[in-house]
Structure 1
Amino acid sequence: MSNALTHIPTRTLNSQDYKTLVLSALGGALEFYDFIIFVFFSMTISHLFFPNDMPAWLSQVQTFGIFAAGYLIRPLGGIVMAHFGDRLGRKKMFTLSILLMALPTLFIGCLPTYINIGILAPVLLLLMRLCQGLAVGGEVPGAWTFVAEHVPKNKIGLACGILTSGLSLGILLGSLVSTAMNKFLSSEQIIDWGWRIPFIIGGIFGLIAMYLRRWLKETPIFLEIQKRKQQELSKKIPVITVLTQYLPQTILSMLLTWVLSAGIMVIMLMTPILLQKQFGYSPIDALQGNILAIIGLIISCTFYGMMMDKFSIGNVLFIGCFIAAIMIIIFYFSLDNPHILFITYSLTGFSIGIVGSFSYFMVKVFPAQIRYSGVSFSFNMAYAIAGGITPLLISFFSDFVSKMAPAIYVAGLFCLGAFIGLFLLINNNCQKYLAKDME
């Protein structure tokens, strides 16, 4: 394309950049908290929203199925919100997504249970999860696109890493709330009314975050597109352009998302439950170990983002994913020794932080006119497939095949991530894939 857009010149981060990063990360943290708090209370929800005479394993699988439904609907929300984000602006969709997350979360905290309204209870729960899935489908890709187009090109990795750390902070908030609930409330109190508190809190804080986002400004790159009227690519539906002209970039982004989904969903979200069910850990020990792992993840996401700004994409991916695969195996095969749980879990959380650099690749390989749609389609489509089947597969194989099934699954996928890094190294660190405005 002639007169290609140029990115913000190389410079240091200024006060406006920091405000953008803080508000984006804070909103992302609260929205991600709203989306994942469900899994921390999945055992309670399975008890309350399904018949008591249903086998425990079946109600648990059905609860994970409702959780997975939020992932399956993500592509639709992502495609629609990204379409208008590429046409009307990043900020408008970025703000709308958090409203669409906050309200269903608040409603979940107020839902009647199975004993009150019967089969309608899980149906309403499913409906709320679908609404959450629509919202988060636009939030995460929109956030990465938003910050990447605000900061100077030599700080894109750092910005994406900080934002992913913010999303991870949402998981930490969920784990902290869950730990506090288990520590200060009895099992009967949690079942009676306590489980509602995390959802109500999340909904309220989500609305506050939406208000704070009004202080954000539209990205300079999108404003430049509007100013120059450079809409050649946008004459088509953006997602069609993504699939017809940027298929290699899309496939690689989807594969990296598959790796990311396994690391976050299995190691961070499902492992506390598996530690209790499969390895006999107490809820407090499992959740405290999870908190340490998430802290490691938060630190590591920013670290690996910085590494992307300093070294080649291929090198960082290859080394980071290989280390993560090794640590996952060590962690799971050492679970028979409870004395080192906190050490191995925290180190594994840090190693998983390589996923914080994946968004750097995604925002760099799609041009500005379709960037939101490219990142959104790749990320959400892969996450819908992986997120939809992973909880069910892990739950089934852990119960009926091997307790080590999660380790084998996730470590195998991080080996795939290392292979992608090697592929990029062989192909001159994907220089031929980079968008002009991101070179």
Structure 2
Amino acid sequence: MPSRSEYALMSSKDRNTVLFICFSGAIAFFDFLIYLYLADIIAASFFPAITDPATIKIQGLVLFAIGYLARPLGGVIFGRYGDIKGRKPMLLISILVTAGSVLAMACLPTYAQLGLIAPALFIILRLIQGMAFGLYVPLAWVFVAEHVPRQYLSVGCSYVTASFFTGVLFSNAFFLWLSNSMTVDQLADYGWRIPFFVAAILSVLPLLGWRWIDESPFFAQMKNSKPKEYVAKPFTLLFKHCKHSIFIGMVLALIVSSITTVVVLLLPDLIELRFTLDSDLFGFSHSLGIVFMIFGCVFYGIISNHQNFGKILTIGSILLIAQMFAFFYHLQASGDYILIMYALLGFCAGIVGMIPAILVQLFPTNVRLTGMAFCYNIAYGIVGVLVPFGLGYATLYVSFSPALYIAFIGFIGIIMGVYFYNLPEFKKIDEVI
């Protein structure tokens, strides 16, 4: 914004906004991942009894993938309204829709009580939740980026990204407690509803501080400077003037979604397909890896800015490739130092923390949310549906398949880093087309 210096200090209001978004982001990830932890139990509650374990597993994966398929639809549709009506109204809608959908899931009758209507209702609610989540993630980055001074842009977005993984960490701890507190029969009977009730309550807690949250200054200024007869057409403007930004955004979103999906969500199951490790130790190692990924996100956010994005992205991608192969070579050799190797892998994967700040600067203010939501959710929809099945199948035959895939993604990161390193400068973040 012209009225605000690029080198201004972050105000207390800015810090409150970042904290609000981070707290909401952690809860949003907990809400979305509930099904991942209870897939088999929920599938058994809402679908006809199946005895084949493989079919049950596939059914669970398909139902989890439904949430990913809904994300592009919600992100694109509501992202457009975020560029027309404002960031704050869309933020409220995403929070309320998420809370309402998980509360409705908690109260749903089972297949035994309602027959085929039960799974139909569950799928509809899962789609609605996925649509709201598809809006929330890019909106969180945009909201923070448009509030903080530009010198805090990268670190602000990295805090938001780190909060998402804090939500994953909380999910691990919560479901560990839940599984240790209840028997399998209790979980199948009523225990599976508890996380949904908890998620609904947590989702509305941030609204207690809603009155201290302001509309994005960039959006407010853009709205005030437009003539009254102006008609906003984010999609038309986006695809007319930002084709290059869309391509770059899709590639960057592919990097973020691939690293997050493989390292945070899939790696434990993929490793179990080919390696034998102590389950308790491995579970703790995975959580430790997420802790260090949170640190890595903040670290990369702090050391990167709009002048050295390319250099940091290139170096970080090289380190991630090296550590991913070192991690799998260590598993093949002994696995004795799994704690250290997982922590290092998580820290290197924290490179995803700096990428949202690049995404934000690709798009002008009046199409920013539409552009980010389109790129992020299309990439996540593709990765979230195809990669779990593809890598699961490939790992059965080649144990290093996850490492090879991350190496491929890291190579793309290197190319993007070189590209940004040779760019003279990003556009001004308050640009409007």
Common fold by TM > 0.5: yes
TM-aligned CA distance change 1:255 to 1:28, over 3 Å: same
1:32 aligns with 2:29: yes
In structure 1, how many angstroms separate the alpha carbons of the residues matched to 2:217 and 2:34?
34
* Alignment check: 8 A CA contact 1:289 1:346 kept: yes
C-alpha distance in 1 between matches for 2:227 and 2:379: 30
The answer for the alignment partner of 2:313 in structure 1 is 317
1:437 corresponds to: 430
Pick the aligned partner of 1:269 from 260, 265, 272: 265
The residue type paired with residue 128 of structure 2 is: C
Matched, 1:339 2:333: no
**How much has 1:396 moved relative to structure 2?**
2.9
Cα-to-partner distance string for 1:200-258 (whole Å, 9 max, x where unaligned): 211211122244334311111111112222689x7352022112211111111111111
Structure 1 position 66 matched with structure 2 position 59: no
The match for 2:403 among 395, 398, 407 is 407
Asked if the contact 1:30/1:209 (under 8 Å) is kept, the reply is: no
Structure 1 residues 332 and 118, CA gap change in structure 2 (3 angstroms): farther
Q: Distance in 1 between matches of 2:412 and 2:50?
A: 42
Deviations 1:326-365 (A, max 9, x none): 2222223333434322221121111111111111111112
Q: Distance in 1 between matches of 2:295 and 2:262?
A: 19
2:231 corresponds in structure 1 to 235
CA contact (8 A) 1:364 1:438 kept: no
Q: Which residue of 2 aligns with 1:22?
A: 19
Q: How does 1:95-244 map to 2 (within 5 A)?
A: 95-229=92-226, 235-244=231-240
1:265/1:387 contact within 8 Å kept? yes
What is the rounded CA distance, in whole Å, between the counterparts of 1:329 and 1:138 in structure 2?
34
Partner AA of 1:309 in structure 2: N
Structure 1 CA distance, aligned partners of 2:307 and 2:240?
30
Q: Distance in 2 between matches of 1:387 and 1:119?
A: 26
CA contact (8 A) 1:293 1:347 kept: yes
Change (3 A) 1:109 1:368: same
Is contact 1:183-1:284 (8 Å) kept?
Answer: no
SS at match of 1:339: coil
Aligned residues with identical type, % of pairs: 30
Q: Is the CA contact 1:102–1:203 (under 8 Å) kept in the aligned structure 2? A: yes
Deviations 1:125-172 (A, max 9, x none): 322221111101111111111111111111100110111111111111
How many Å separate the matches in 2 of 1:177 and 1:230?
A: 51
Equivalent-residue separation in structure 2 for 1:141 and 1:402 (angstroms): 35
Structure 2 CA distance for partners of 1:105 and 1:309, relative to 1, 3 Å: same
> Is 2:405 the counterpart of 1:395?
no
Please tell me whether the aligned partners of residues 249 and 362 of structure 2 are also in contact (alpha carbons under 8 angstroms): no
Range with bigger deviation, 40-49 or 336-345? 40-49
> How do 1:287-306 and structure 2 match up within 5 A?
287-306=283-302
Moved over 6 A (4+): none
1:182–1:344 Cα change, 3 Å? farther
Contact 1:225 1:231 in 2 (8 A): no
TM-score (norm 2): 0.91
Q: Answer whether contact 2:91 2:139 (CA < 8 A) is retained.
A: yes
Does the Cα contact within 8 Å between 2:37 and 2:175 map onto a contact in 1?
Answer: yes
In structure 2, the residue corresponding to 1:235 is in which secondary structure?
coil
Higher mean C-alpha deviation, range 22-31 or range 285-294? 285-294
The one-character-per-residue Cα deviations of 1:239-278 (angstroms, maximum 9, x if unpaired) are 2211221111111111111111111112111223334454
What's the secondary structure of 2:9's corresponding residue?
coil
Q: 1:381 to 1:198 in 2, by over 3 A?
A: same
For 2:220, give the aligned amino acid. L
Q: What amino acid is aligned across from residue 437 of structure 1 in structure 2?
A: D
**Which residue number corresponds to residue 424 of structure 1?**
420
User: Secondary structure at the residue paired with 1:369?
Assistant: helix
Instruction: Summarize the Cα distance change of 1:367–1:286 in structure 2 as closer, same or farther, 3 Å threshold.
Output: same
Distance 1:434 1:142 in 2: 20
Where 1:375 maps in the other structure, the secondary structure is helix
Distance in structure 2 (CA, Å) of the matches to 1:192 and 1:102 = 23
SS of the residue corresponding to residue 6 of structure 1 reads: coil
- C-alpha displacement at 1:388, in angstroms? 2.1
Amino acid at match of 1:83: R
- 2:90 corresponds, among 71, 88, 93, to 93
Once the two structures are TM-superposed, the CA of residue 389 in structure 1 deviates from its matched residue by: 1.5
**In the alignment, is the contact (CA less than 8 A) between 2:364 and 2:430 conserved in 1?**
yes
Q: Which runs of 5+ in 2 are unaligned?
A: none
Q: Partner amino acid for 1:33? A: F
1:365 aligns with 2:362: yes
TM-score by length of 1: 0.90
- Whether the 8 Å CA contact 1:394–1:406 is kept in 2: the answer is yes
Question: Displacement of 1:48 after TM fit?
Answer: 4.2
Report the Cα distance in structure 2 between the residues aligned to 1:397 and 1:112, rounded to whole angstroms.
38
Aligned residues: 430
Name the stretch that deviates more: 337-346 or 41-50. Answer: 41-50
Partner of residue 328, structure 1? 324
Distance 1:409 1:388 in 2: 15
- Helix, strand or coil at the partner of 1:437: coil
Cα RMSD for the two superposed structures: 2.4
User: Residue by residue, what CA displacement relative to the aligned partner does 1:68-122 show, whole Å, maximum 9, x if unpaired?
Assistant: 1211121221122222211111111011101111222223333344454454444
- Partner SS state of residue 403, structure 1: coil
> How far apart, CA to CA, are the structure 2 residues paired with 1:45 and 1:327?
36
